[in-house]
Structure 1
Amino acid sequence: MKTNFASSIGMVALALLILPAQARAAGGATDTKLSIFVDCHCSDPVGGDFCSALKDNVSDSSAYRLVDHTDAYGIGVHLWCVDMFTGLPGINSKLTGTMSAVSVAFTIYAERLPGEVYEDSSVFRVGKEATDEMSQRILTALGQLATANKSVFERMQAPPPKPAATPTSQVIQ
């Protein structure tokens, strides 16, 4: 399974490197921070707090910049959260708003791809007192994904190669 996963990443990286580079943003200066798109679908209070904490941690990071849409290239973090005790009768109803079940999917995106490429996913629980700690763990996971795909991201940062000059023919009259 690990070999297939590594092969998939390698194939995506190869495709990104082979495809011609599209126009880059004007201005010449490049932002060395990796773009992170955090997409939250968290309607419960704990999930909402967790998502906000993650966005704050990404924004405060020296390695990443939080973006509100998938831009040139980066990593997507897609969160779905649900209160673990909503709608349960009895004693569990007193626990509503204390813990969220969170599903996270990580993707790689680039303007040259037709969509986002799946990288990894996980499901876990977050208690209302642990939103900051769990958001730090997601930030650590982002670092691992960024490291695993470092060469791909570096190639996307580099200016596209200049086309080779083609000889012109001269007509002698």
Structure 2
Amino acid sequence: MADLEQKAIGLLRITQIKVLVIDEVHNLLCGSHRDQRVILNTLRFLSNELRMSLVCFGVMEAREAIHGDVQLARRFEAFTLPRWSANQEFEDLIRAALRNLPLRQPSVLTAKSLRHILQATQGLTAGIFTMLNALTIATIENGREQITDDAVLQWTPLIQPEAAYS
């Protein structure tokens, strides 16, 4: 195990990695207290030894995971992404996402569909992209290759948010 660790550090050093991005860092809390300590110590070591920046993403519990190590916590500034609201930035996001989908026909949505996307996803970025991915898959499967207002208005999430917390 130590051999693999040394090889990994050597590769990171050779490639001169400057930023290590860790997604879903809140999953750290799934491990035992000992496992959490090992991972946090490893992150601090990598940051110190290789002089690399750490960028961690996750839900609110991610802060709790990082704050398990006081020295590591001091290195992070927490940012919370706000929920999207009905404004030009949201429209630009949807327009850009639709433009980049692997569909043969362009998808143009009305204001009513945009409001439905916000309502159905509660304005959460992950929910918005989950919805667009599901709509894309459905439209490819049905051969239409275009996301329509009707498809958006009929879409419902597989899991209702209220049910997830019951």
Q: Do both share a fold (TM > 0.5)?
A: no
TM-score (norm 2): 0.30
Higher helix residue share? 2
Q: Which has the higher contact order (CA 8 A, sep 6+)?
A: 1
Higher strand residue share? 1
